Amino acid sequence: MKVTIREINKYVDQEVTIGCWLANKRSSGKIAFLQLRDGTGFIQGVVVKNEVPDDVFQLAKTVTQESSLYITGMVRIDERSPFGYELLVKDIELISESHDYPITPKAHGTEFLMDHRHLWLRSKRQHAIMVVRNEIIRATYEFFNDRGFIKVDPPILTGSAPEGTTELFHTKYFDEDAYLSQSGQLYMEAAAMALGKVFSFGPTFRAEKSKTRRHLIEFWMIEPEMAFYTFEDNLKLQEEYVSYLVQSVLKNCKLELNTLGRDLSKLENIQAPFPRIHYDDAIKFLHEKGFDDIKWGDDFGAPHETAIANSFDRPVFITHFPKAIKPFYMEPDPDREDVVLCADLIAPEGYGEIIGGSERIHDYELLKHRLDEYHLPLDTYQWYLDLRKYGSVPHSGFGLGLERTVAWITGTEHVRETIPFPRLLNRLYP
């Protein structure tokens, strides 16, 4: 019976065959331990000299790392293995031999691993990160579907620039200029007026010259947008969503979190509601902590965000940023002209901003005025202004950066390990 490692718990004391690769091995004169992986998981195969034909034991001793195999054996419970099972091998069939696999069990430098990303993905740690990434995506669809949201796909080739024009990827669109989407938000606003509560999940592109552990050139964003949602409604949804993601990973990816050595107690804390701090108070707090480099009106850098995040055991909202450092579309605070109804959600433990969101301007004249102030061409944004002309309603939304969220939940230092093939400032290969 051909089975996968993931479902092997259903076959205890039965003989099964798995298609797999050899991740690692060690052997002595009488016994060989094969670390096997099949994409669904990892399991140890035990080959005992006296229990298999000579040629099978010989193959077990000589087979090279990452050779592909069919292995037949008896499934046994193994209390010592974190996975809980092992295979007592009866037969090995070599499918394809691997020669001089470059990633050996010894430690390699980051650039070497990045050059071999197409192979590095096979490692236990990278496998675990990708499984958690998948769980976050799965839980996202579940969360929004359960709450009556409709999934909408905004375009990737666009003429507009919601987050400012400095970081756009330019391309030709026949005779016109086009940009790769830096956010689907403006289209999601149109979709919310048609479908009520919507969310998107797609790639976004930013030609940011930032070389930090939090920046990718191509990253994936989840962007919900809700008609009739106020700033407050928006924050409630965000804390509920982020808690749901963390609790889903805790429930469904225990093995992977253990493989990654993640401190589970840090994740168990992540329950709504999340603390909130007004931008004014964040500035005061930073001054008290000795950050003399920042003044009211400045944006926060990574050290500022980390200092704020470190005083809380769960993500923290920084709210009401100065309007001058935020995009044109944010609704001003009705009590104060100089700040807007927005919030950034900062992850704990120094993983940085994982969500940016706001209530959107719904008044036609005000939005037009803001577009002018930002020198944005009215012809490009006429369709967006139209939304304020035909039954405009208060509405809000946010964008969660998938890779930063994966980095935080998995405890991965750099976002380059949280996406299968990262696009970085100086990396387009592989």
Window 386-405: contact mask with ligand 4AD (x via CB under 6 A): -----------xxx-x-xx-
Least distance in Å: CB of 320 to ligand 4AD? 15
By CB under 6 A, residue 183 contacts ligand 4AD: yes
- Residue 243 binds which entry of ligand 4AD, Mg ion, none, CB below 5-8 Å type-dependent: none
Query: In sequence order, what are the residues at sequence separation of 6 or more whose Cβ sits closer than 8 angstroms to the Cβ of residue 147?
Result: 197
Residue given tokens 């193994």 in the structure block? 78
Pull the structure tokens for residue 16. Answer: 């099964």
Nearest to 244, CA basis, from 236, 256, 255, 254: 236
Give the residues across from 359 on adjacent strands.
396
Pick what 208 binds: ligand 4AD, Mg ion, none; C-beta below 5 to 8 Å, kind-dependent: ligand 4AD
- H or E element, residue 24: strand 15-27
What CA–CA distance (Å, rounded) separates 150 from 34?
47
Shortest distance in whole angstroms from residue 399 CB to Mg ion: 8
Shortest distance (Å) from residue 126 CB to ligand 4AD: 18
Q: How many residues bind to ligand 4AD according to rule CB under 6 A?
A: 23
The span from the CA of 408 to the CA of 416, in Å, is 13
In the set 117, 206, 314, 323, which binds ligand 4AD (CB under 6 A)? 206
Q: Positive or negative, the Cα torsion across 22, 28, 32, 34?
A: negative
Which stretch, 4-12, 114-122, 152-160, 350-358, contacts Mg ion (CB under 5 A)? 350-358
Specify the 3-state DSSP secondary structure of 365: helix
Instruction: Note whether 64 and 71 are within 8 A (CB).
Output: no
How does 13-50 read in b/e, with b if 16+ C-beta sit within 10 Å? Answer: eeebbbbbbbbbbebeeeebbbbbbbebbbbbbbbebe
CB of 289 to ligand 4AD, least distance (A): 23
Residue 162 lies near ligand 4AD (rule: CB under 6 A): yes
Nearer to ligand 4AD, 41 or 401 (CB): 401
397 binds, among Mg ion, ligand 4AD, none (CB under 5 to 8 A by kind): ligand 4AD
**Using H for helix, E for strand and C for coil, what is the string for 213-274?**
CCCCCEEEEEEEEEECCCHHHHHHHHHHHHHHHHHHHHHHCHHHHHHCCCCHHHHHCCCCCC
Quickly count: other Cβ atoms within 10 Å of residue 56's Cβ.
19
Q: Which of residues 355-374 bind ligand 4AD (CB under 6 A)?
A: 355-357
Q: With binding defined as CB under 6 A, does residue 333 bind ligand 4AD?
A: no
As measured in angstroms, the least distance from the Cβ of 128 to Mg ion is 28
By CB under 6 A, residue 315 contacts ligand 4AD: no
Q: Using CB distances below 5 to 8 A depending on partner kind, what does residue 416 bind out of ligand 4AD, Mg ion, none?
A: none
Indicate which single residue of 117, 133, 197, 215 sits in contact with ligand 4AD (rule: CB under 6 A).
215
Binding residues among 248-287 for Mg ion as defined by CB under 5 A: none
User: What is residue 300's DSSP assignment?
Assistant: P
Helix (H) or strand (E) holding 117: helix 117-120
For ligand 4AD, which residue of 208, 280, 281, 333 counts as binding (CB under 6 A)? 208
Amino acid at 253: C
Residue 357 binds which entry of Mg ion, ligand 4AD, none, with Cβ cut-offs from 5 to 8 Å by kind? Answer: ligand 4AD
* Type and span of the H or E element at 51: none
Residue 356 near Mg ion by CB under 5 A: yes
Instruction: List interacting residues with ligand 4AD (CB under 6 A).
Output: 162-163, 183, 185, 206, 208, 215-216, 219, 221, 223, 353-357, 397-399, 401, 403-404, 415
Instruction: List interacting residues with Mg ion (CB under 5 A).
Output: 356
